[in-house]
Structure 1
Amino acid sequence: MILFEPDRRRKTAPTLVDQTAAALESAIRAHTLRPGMALPSIRQFARDHGLSTFTVMAAYNRLVARGLLQSRPGADFRVSRRKQAAPAPVPEWVAPRIGSSWLLADVFADHSISIKAGCGWLPPDWHDQAGLPHALRQLSRVPISQMSAYGHPLGYRPLREHIACRLLEHGLEVEPDQILLTHGATQALDIVIRTLLRPGDHVAVEAPCYANLLQILALNRITVHTVPRTAEGVREETLEDLARRHPIRAMFVTTVLQNPTGASFSMAGAFRLLRLAERHAFLVVEDDTSRDLLPEPAPMLAALAGPSRVIYVSGFSKSVAPSIRVGYLACAKPLADPCARTKMSLGLTSAEVMERAVHHVLRDGRHVTYLRGIRERLRLAHDQVAAAMRAHGFEIWGEPGAGLFLWARPPAPRASGDGMIELTSQALKAGIWLAPGSYFDPDGREAGWLRFNVAYSGDPRLWSFFRRQATACLAGGTE
């Protein structure tokens, strides 16, 4: 019985195991292979289709795991007699309700939103289509005995050594044992907060700032004070006043391509912040996850002041892939061990398989070329989206021309308060995710700003939505 003709084009075709399993499943669904029917032996099926016995065995076992085939030791494979469930009907789409739960958790699993203008990651088809698959293929050749243990508490050492070399290129000199690999940069922030701070401690954050940082601080019952973000850094007068009135333990900042404004520190702004930190004896926690997306050099606070004053946090969600979930922190030697103990108490070691994958990607010479291409695509997207904003009367906070984000405000009367909640809700009904400014404010205050991801914001349907909303506002109603 010949069920299919294998497609052997290596670069474009699915694997032979995938093709074999799909052909068998199709034959079972179509009742060409009926319940209880014995399949050809593995050797016979392999001869009939020009496949290896390993390929056929893998396909048969995959369908056994899915309940489509049954097998007994020493016997043949047979089509399962269990009734196969009909495909579930596609439920009617209902727009999700805007709120902190959806924005923080549900949105990551919500594939119903077609235009993710407010999201915080690159589109899937922008990611390196060669480097990561190549790295995963290389990993499949690593003996399982080398990856069967929990791994080192600090993380996979070759990756830590590579990171230390990269940081040295920016002027930050740290040893591999001063680097702690984590489950993404967000976990690195959580580890720093849990290790250094106690409930009631005072910290300063940028306003607006990274939304997940606010949630971590709230969960740890930290007292948060805000310092306005500027085009060159933070407003030093506000920070100076806070440091005089409160025992500020740490200041959390994003140096390069800040989330959500897209702004980067100037050298003068960096030095002014570090002088304040020295004068008032507080630590600076530098979140630097987007540096690889910036075409030109920019200040690195940890390199300017050293790890005794600045704890450096970064990761690879922007430069490799969000699903890899590999981040790290670099700190002074006395702090590395306490941070490692916190990491171990939260979830033991981080995933060495993913750390090895990132190490393979970073060592591949093609990754540098890939990053250059991403920067150019983002530059073009910034030009396109900023032009659309100006054409629709938006106020743009700044135009970095790089990174993921633009921080902009639509024209009145939608520009504040309940108007923005209504606008965001209307957008969800239209299949558009907008990220309102209240999401990035510790007190949930709304001033009419929205975070736009330029990689997702060129869709004409997004701007058609804003035109309809503007027309409805002029008419004195809403759509």
Structure 2
Amino acid sequence: MMFFQPIRGGGAPTLVDQVAQALQSAMESQLLRPGMALPSVRQFARNHGLSTYTVAAAYGRLAAQGWLAARPGSAYRVVPRAAARAAVRAAPWRPPKMGESWLLADVFADHSIPIKSGCGWLPSEWLNEAGLQQSLRQLARVPAAQIAGYGHPYGYAPLREHMLGVLAERGVAAQPAQIVLTQGATQALDIVIRTLFRAGDTVLVELPCYANLLPCLHLAGLQILGVPRTADGLCVETLQRLAASHPVKGLFVNTVLHNPTGTSLSMANAFQVLQVAERHGFWVIEDDVSRDLLPGIGPMLLALAGTRRVVHVSGFSKSITPSVRVGYIVAADELAAAFVRTRMAMSLTPAEMLERTVYQVLRQGRHQAHLARVRDRLGEAHETLCGLMDEHGFEVYARPGAGLFLWARPAGAWRERGAARLAETALRDGIWLAPGGYFDPTGADAGWLRFNVAYSLDPLLWKFMRRVGAA
């Protein structure tokens, strides 16, 4: 049974939204009657040329809203209309309350928001599903005895060896003992913080900066100072002034495709940042998690300065899938050993089964072709979204043309009211916006918002902006 024809591009709703809406309409019109079983996730995906991730997300949303019922080992079935209405009345959807705890924790468990313009990941239908499935099939053939115990303290050796080749292509000559695998890049940052710094130490972050970094720094009791992020990197004058007037121990920086502004350091700016760090003797922690989304090349601080001054952090959530929590640290031998001791105290060895999955995906020839397609789609989304921003009078901070993020703010009264109030209003319409205050160590709200370009082309988002006068 064909329910609809997917619409791709051109500002169409996400495929998850399209599937959910088509099924809900079919149930309301009695095309799908109470008690009927839906096609399996795999069958529906095959019939409509969709990813199984997309279909599973749509089925899950309808089950959460009371339209479908699912039992272990059984198909999804249509819930009788009276029961569905009762479920909706018993648990009507209410927008969550905006706040730091929701943004940093609850949002990952909240699948009820239709338009996720503020999120930090790729749409499920953009993922390399075939590569992941092949990797999981290969993992299933590994004898249980090989994966039953704890992994190696440094991480899965074949993946670390693979990363040596990747680093070499980027101009970094490293050894296996310099690479430490972690459960995601955020854990890598936490390990670095716990190892290098002590409560009361002063560290520098970008303004704005990666939102999840801030709670890690606060939990460690560190003093946080901000360095403005410009279109081509860090404000070197501010960096020099702060380093000269404070006992700075470290600087955290996104070298390319900065979260949240999307900008990248120019080569000249990268050299200047490293010169200030060398002059004042502080660590540079390079968060490089989005490099795989960068077309062409960009400066890499680890390649420019080596491990004597730079600690390099990255991961695979942006290029493979967020659910594969695998990151890594590249550092000098002795420091890498210290990071391993910290990680072992926190969580013992990393998750080898996930590391094996990532390794199998990376070694397949199709992964680079997948990344090329993702870069192209992101470039097209940037061009379209910038056009929508211009049409609706938004101020765009920079136009990187690549990566996940665009940093912009509306004109008119909403600039004075603040991005947080706009985000709260949008949430009542099922739209998740990411206000700039979450990316500032002081919580300052100057009206800026982080837009994920892959999720921000939905016409309903821009209809909302016009309705509330933000455009």
After superposition, the C-alpha distances for 1:210-237 in whole angstroms (9 at most, x for unaligned) are 0010110001010011000011210111
Partner of 1:468: 467
Task: Return the offset for 1:11.
Answer: 9.5
* Within-5 A mapping of 1:437-448: 437-448=436-447
Task: Return the offset for 1:7.
Answer: 13
CA distance, structure 2, for counterparts of residue 169 and residue 251 of structure 1: 26
CA distance, structure 1, for counterparts of residue 284 and residue 45 of structure 2: 47
After superposition, the C-alpha distances for 1:240-274 in whole angstroms (9 at most, x for unaligned) are 11111111011100000000000001100000001
One-letter amino acid of the structure 2 residue matched with residue 392 of structure 1: H
- Is 1:167 aligned with 2:164? no
Contact 2:255 2:299 in 1 (8 A): yes
CA distance, structure 1, for counterparts of residue 103 and residue 229 of structure 2: 23
CA distance, structure 2, for counterparts of residue 327 and residue 376 of structure 1: 24
CA-atom RMSD, angstroms?
Answer: 2.4
Task: Return the offset for 1:334.
Answer: 1.1
Q: Residues 209 and 7 from structure 1, CA distance in 2 versus in 1: closer, same or farther, beyond 3 angstroms? A: closer
Partner of 1:432: 431
One-letter amino acid of the structure 1 residue matched with residue 227 of structure 2: V
- Is 1:358 aligned with 2:358? yes
Contact 2:160 2:176 in 1 (8 A): yes
Q: Residues 297 and 144 from structure 1, CA distance in 2 versus in 1: closer, same or farther, beyond 3 angstroms? A: same
Partner of 1:212: 212
After superposition, the C-alpha distances for 1:43-66 in whole angstroms (9 at most, x for unaligned) are xxxxxxxxxxxxxxxxxxx76xx9
Task: Return the offset for 1:177.
Answer: 1.2
Partner of 1:19: none
Task: Return the offset for 1:422.
Answer: 2.1
Task: Return the offset for 1:398.
Answer: 0.3
After superposition, the C-alpha distances for 1:410-457 in whole angstroms (9 at most, x for unaligned) are 0021113x4433211110000000000000000000111000000000
CA distance, structure 1, for counterparts of residue 241 and residue 41 of structure 2: 69
Query: Unpaired runs of 5+ in structure 2?
Result: 1-36, 53-71, 75-82
SS in 2 for 1:253: strand
Query: Unpaired runs of 5+ in structure 1?
Result: 16-61, 67-85, 474-479
Query: TM-score under structure 2 normalisation?
Result: 0.82
Partner of 2:237: 237
Partner of 2:316: 316
Partner of 2:32: none
Partner of 1:282: 282
Partner of 1:147: 147
SS in 1 for 2:468: helix
* Within-5 A mapping of 1:263-302: 263-302=263-302
Instruction: Tell me the number of residue pairs that the alignment of Structure 1 and Structure 2 aligns.
Output: 402
CA distance, structure 1, for counterparts of residue 211 and residue 467 of structure 2: 29
SS in 2 for 1:116: coil
Partner of 1:334: 334
CA distance, structure 1, for counterparts of residue 386 and residue 158 of structure 2: 41
CA distance, structure 2, for counterparts of residue 144 and residue 180 of structure 1: 24
CA distance, structure 2, for counterparts of residue 410 and residue 300 of structure 1: 33
Task: Return the offset for 1:89.
Answer: 2.3
One-letter amino acid of the structure 2 residue matched with residue 236 of structure 1: V
Partner of 2:452: 453
One-letter amino acid of the structure 2 residue matched with residue 256 of structure 1: V
Task: Return the offset for 1:9.
Answer: 8.5
- Runs of 4+ displaced beyond 6 Å: 5-11
Task: Return the offset for 1:92.
Answer: 0.6
* Within-5 A mapping of 1:98-113: 98-113=98-113
Partner of 2:122: 122
SS in 1 for 2:454: coil
SS in 2 for 1:299: coil
Partner of 2:78: none
- Is 1:186 aligned with 2:186? yes
After superposition, the C-alpha distances for 1:96-135 in whole angstroms (9 at most, x for unaligned) are 1110011110111111110000000000111012101110
Contact 2:116 2:433 in 1 (8 A): yes
One-letter amino acid of the structure 1 residue matched with residue 335 of structure 2: L
CA distance, structure 1, for counterparts of residue 461 and residue 286 of structure 2: 34
Query: TM-score under structure 1 normalisation?
Result: 0.81
Task: Return the offset for 1:10.
Answer: 13
CA distance, structure 1, for counterparts of residue 327 and residue 247 of structure 2: 29
CA distance, structure 2, for counterparts of residue 199 and residue 419 of structure 1: 33
CA distance, structure 2, for counterparts of residue 7 and residue 379 of structure 1: 30
Partner of 2:8: none
SS in 2 for 1:102: helix
Contact 2:418 2:445 in 1 (8 A): no
Contact 2:418 2:446 in 1 (8 A): no
Q: Which has the larger radius of gyration?
A: 1
Partner of 1:83: none
After superposition, the C-alpha distances for 1:177-219 in whole angstroms (9 at most, x for unaligned) are 1101000000000000000000000111100000010110001
One-letter amino acid of the structure 1 residue matched with residue 292 of structure 2: D
SS in 2 for 1:323: coil
Task: Return the offset for 1:144.
Answer: 0.5
One-letter amino acid of the structure 1 residue matched with residue 447 of structure 2: G
Partner of 2:87: 89
Partner of 1:72: none
